Amino acid sequence: MSISLLLVPLAVATVAAVRGATADRDERGHIICQVQTRMRDEVLLTAALRETDAVVTVDGQGIVAAWDRVQANFQRGENDVWSAHLTGEVDEQRAVDIIRAVDAGYGRQVQRAVLDRLRERAPAAGLRLESETVADDASVRMVFAVEGRQS
């Protein structure tokens, strides 16, 4: 089976948000789904795909991710919107589930990048990380102390 997904950034997915994922067919009868996503950064997307145990290949044209009996070809289209064409043993629901799992992994990659940036930049801003805790829902609480300035 073959399914194509249009990965709509959340910022422009207001109308699609009501529907979550929508499906149509192209002129050849292939299923085309539209799925909300926040994925924009190629490096973070690649890391998120690897987090789902995909074998990932990146070339100048896009990203190919392969799982057991399913392959996804990611291409960047207009306005930097990604699309994914899935082939193999995949139906519409499995395709949407795969992309949602990748999107969740992408969110974790974004969180890691932001936390790393905060840790890295804190000393230059006169801050010292005193504690960091991770809650059951994977949210992170960081407590910084303002370093005293001596004159």
Residues 12, 17, 21: CA angle, nearest 5 degrees = 105
| pLDDT (tens digit per residue) in 81-130 | 778 888 888 888 888 888 888 988 888 898 889 999 999 999 998 888 88
Closest CA to 109 of 39, 58, 57: 39
Please report which confidence band the pLDDT of residue 15 belongs to, taking 50, 70 and 90 as the band edges: very low
pTM above 0.85, yes or no: no
Q: Are 19 and 37 in contact (CB under 8 A)?
A: no
Distance (Å, whole) CA 63 – CA 54: 11
Closest CA to 17 of 4, 35, 44: 35
pLDDT at 35 over 60: yes
pLDDT at 51 over 90: yes
